[in-house]
């Protein structure tokens, strides 16, 4: 690839990225607007709507609920996704492809259809409007991210490492804990981050499964926008963006530091 081609590719990629990201980032300056309605660019900057957000217990409760649901969904997804990925490594390629298709199907099927199905399943079970019901529903959407990320990490492990551990008398659990688990930590971190974020900002499924006692932040934002379109919703959106960026920055920093230490140890 020549320098001109590389430069042109970088410019084209930057334009596409700006087209996708800049409209999302527009909510950040809107959140500092002093007016009672969203206007870009703001005429006057202030923290008025941040104070409104922090002083409203309903917004705080919705934010805390989103954290609880996302943590629970990410935990369940990591447990089930890691187990599924380990099992898929032991089956034939045809069976693995079939299972993979089933696991990632929630990403292909329209979310509205999945939401309606889960609503009719969870309501008779008493899970509608509960934290557990929301977490289980979000797990269905978050599980594919864990399976894909952990599966990639597992395929990168040299089989000789496990054979060496078994040859030295390690039990399957000890081999997993001392060999497999440290090597797939980047996949676990990435899958967990995607699972958390996909749950934290999920709105369609949450609208169907939320209730008075379990109302996550995206549902609260949706209800507020239907009544009034004030910059307080931009504040909530900015908080979602900040949490997402911070989470992936921490994952990137953690996995990068671990990879550097491993390379130093090998060298």
Identify whether the C-beta of residue 175 lies closer than 8 Å to the C-beta of residue 165: yes
pLDDT above 60: residue 264: no
Q: Is the pLDDT of residue 267 over 80?
A: no
Range scoring the smallest mean pLDDT among 97-101, 208-212, 253-257, 259-263: 259-263
In this prediction, residues 18-47 reach a mean pLDDT of 75
What integer is the mean pLDDT of 2-30?
A: 76
Does 56 have pLDDT greater than 90? no
What pLDDT was estimated at residue 188? 87
Sorted by where each begins, the domain ranges of the chain are 50-266
What is the reported pLDDT for 154? 83
State the Cα–Cα distance between residues 48 and 31, nearest whole angstrom.
9
Residue 119's nearest CA partner among 205, 197, 189 is 205
Does 24 score more than 70 pLDDT? yes
Helix H, strand E, coil C: the string for the chain is CCHHHHHHHHHHHHHHHHHHHHHHHCHHHHHCECCCCCCCCCCCECCHHHHHHHHCHHHHHHHHHHHHHHHHHHHHHHHHHHHHHHHHCCCCHHHHHHHHHHHHHHHHCCHHHHHHHHHHHHHHHCCCCCHHHHHHHHHHHHHHHHHHHHHHHHHCCCHHHHHHHHHCCCCHHHHHHHHHHHHCHHHHHHHHHHHHHHHHCCCHHHHHHCCCCCCCHHHHHHHHHHHCCCCHHHHHHHHHHHHHHHHHHHHHHHHHHHHHHHHHHHC
**At residue 171, does pLDDT exceed 80?**
no
Query: What does the angle CA 54 – CA 58 – CA 64 come to, to the nearest 5 degrees?
Result: 80
Q: Which one, of 87, 67, 84, lies nearest residue 191 by Cα?
A: 84
CA dihedral 67, 26, 223, 63 (to 10 degrees): 20
Residue 87, pLDDT above cutoff 60: yes
Q: What is the CATH number of domain 50-266?
A: 1.10.3720.10
């Amino acid at each position: 690839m020549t320098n001109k081609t590389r430069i042109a590719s970088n410019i084209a990629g930057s334009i596409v990225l700006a087209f996708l990201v800049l409209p999302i980032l527009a909510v950040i300056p809107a959140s500092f607007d002093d007016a009672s309605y969203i206007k870009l660019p703001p005429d006057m900057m202030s923290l008025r709507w941040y104070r409104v957000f922090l002083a409203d217990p309903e917004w705080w409760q919705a934010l805390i609920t989103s954290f609880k649901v996302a943590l629970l969904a990410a935990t369940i997804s990591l447990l089930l996704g890691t187990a599924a990925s380990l099992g898929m490594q032991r089956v034939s390629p045809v069976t693995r492809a079939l299972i993979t298709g089933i696991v990632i199907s929630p990403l292909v099927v329209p979310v509205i259809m999945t939401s309606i199905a889960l609503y009719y399943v969870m309501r008779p079970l008493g899970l509608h409007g509960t934290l557990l019901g929301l977490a289980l529903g979000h797990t269905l959407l978050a599980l594919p991210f864990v399976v894909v990320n952990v599966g990639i990490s597992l395929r990168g492990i040299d089989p000789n490492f496990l054979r060496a551990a078994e040859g030295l008398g390690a039990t399957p659990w000890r081999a997993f804990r001392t060999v497999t688990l440290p090597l797939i930590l980047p996949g676990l971190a990435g899958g967990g981050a995607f699972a958390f974020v996909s749950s934290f900002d999920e709105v369609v499924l949450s609208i169907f499964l939320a209730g008075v006692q379990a109302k996550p932040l995206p549902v609260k934002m949706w209800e507020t926008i239907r009544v009034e379109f004030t910059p307080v919703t931009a504040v909530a959106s900015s908080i979602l963006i900040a949490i997402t960026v911070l989470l992936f920055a921490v994952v990137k920093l953690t996995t990068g530091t671990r990879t550097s230490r491993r390379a130093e140890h090998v060298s």
